């Protein structure tokens, strides 16, 4: 009979270490797979709390707001990212929403709106009151033609649901901002300030330096605990002025790896002690009971 020698202690140790490494690698792969399949499920959260879900839709904006049985959206991402909106709606068994707000007509904010309006009932639609040369403008104008549930926002509008109100704030002087064709759409963005009990949340569209300057000159109260950073984390000459006007504790940047946030902005947020979250790593979910705010990436 052939004599089979036993493996040495050193060999056994190497085999054990290799097995452990393989086990860890497999576990990490499973965790990543589970994380990638996790969706922002509204049933996980109490109905009497405000839930904001900034979807991971790349360099684009699409946010759901849920509270007390109501559901609304601020912006709808691109046409290509609409599947994320549909997946969210279907997985949460939603067939309609109470309101849709489009901040401006750039394709990365209005791109999914036409498909959304075709597939789901929307009780009220709020659009900025200006004519745009962007392709998204013509598409949504065609989609809302003949509807009597559309508001073109030229003065402040308000949505109220229980303890939540949303102030929809247009520019005070649109003509002043319309002189710059390149940045007109961004600067004409509707601002949305969500007031929920003692906490406030500010959506800024894609406002740039001229609109920020106008807001500062207007002297209106824009303070908020949470801000959706404009222009996908782009740094502006007036970025610090905006953050000083708002004084947030939390910030959300809605963008993708194809357009990372500017390093100057990230440095500024860190210096000002503002906790930042980005949709490059997944949906950003904000939960508020009216006194506390919890932000996480799913």
Digit-coded pLDDT (tens) for 91-143: 999 999 999 999 999 999 999 999 999 999 999 999 999 999 998 899 999 99
Structure token pair of residue 279: 């949709």
Nearest CA among 277, 177, 287, 293 for reference residue 233: 277
Could you tell me the strand order of the sheet in which 226-228 lies? Answer: 157-161, 164-169, 191-196, 199-203, 226-228, 250-253, 275-278
| Strand bridging mode 121-128 / 150-153 | parallel
Range of lowest pLDDT (31-40, 106-115, 138-147, 264-273)? 31-40
Digit-coded pLDDT (tens) for 231-241: 999 998 899 99
Average pLDDT in the 141-164 region? Answer: 97
Euclidean distance between CA atoms 177 and 127, whole angstroms = 17
pLDDT of residue 7 exceeding 70: no
pLDDT of residue 34 exceeding 50: no
């Amino acid at each position: 009979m052939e004599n089979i020698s036993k493996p040495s202690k050193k060999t056994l140790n190497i085999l054990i270490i290799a097995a452990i490494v393989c086990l860890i690698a497999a576990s990490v792969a499973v965790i990543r797979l589970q994380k990638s399949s996790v969706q922002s499920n509204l049933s996980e959260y109490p109905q009497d709390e405000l839930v904001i879900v900034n979807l991971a839709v790349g360099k684009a904006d699409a946010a759901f707001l849920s509270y007390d049985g109501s559901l609304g959206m601020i912006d709808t991402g691109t046409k290509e990212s609409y599947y994320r909106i549909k997946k969210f709606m279907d997985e949460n068994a939603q067939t309609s929403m109470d309101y849709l707000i489009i901040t401006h007509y750039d394709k990365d904010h209005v791109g999914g709106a036409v498909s959304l309006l075709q597939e789901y009932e929307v009780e009220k639609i709020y659009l900025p009151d200006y004519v745009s040369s962007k392709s998204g403008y013509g598409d949504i104008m065609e989609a809302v033609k003949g509807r009597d549930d559309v508001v073109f926002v030229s003065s402040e509008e308000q949505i109220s649901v229980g303890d939540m109100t949303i102030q929809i704030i247009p520019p005070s002087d649109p003509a002043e901002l319309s002189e710059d064709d390149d940045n007109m759409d961004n600067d004409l963005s509707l601002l949305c300030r969500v007031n929920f009990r003692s906490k406030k949340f500010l959506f800024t569209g894609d406002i740039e330096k001229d609109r920020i300057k106008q807001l500062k000159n207007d002297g209106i109260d824009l303070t908020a605990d949470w801000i959706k950073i404009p222009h996908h984390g782009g740094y502006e000459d007036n970025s610090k002025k905006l953050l000083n006007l708002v004084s947030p504790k939390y910030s959300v940047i809605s963008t993708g790896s194809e357009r990372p946030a500017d390093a100057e902005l990230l440095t500024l947020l860190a210096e000002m002690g503002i906790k930042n979250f980005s949709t490059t790593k997944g949906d950003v979910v904000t939960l508020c009971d009216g006194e506390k705010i919890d932000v996480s990436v799913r």
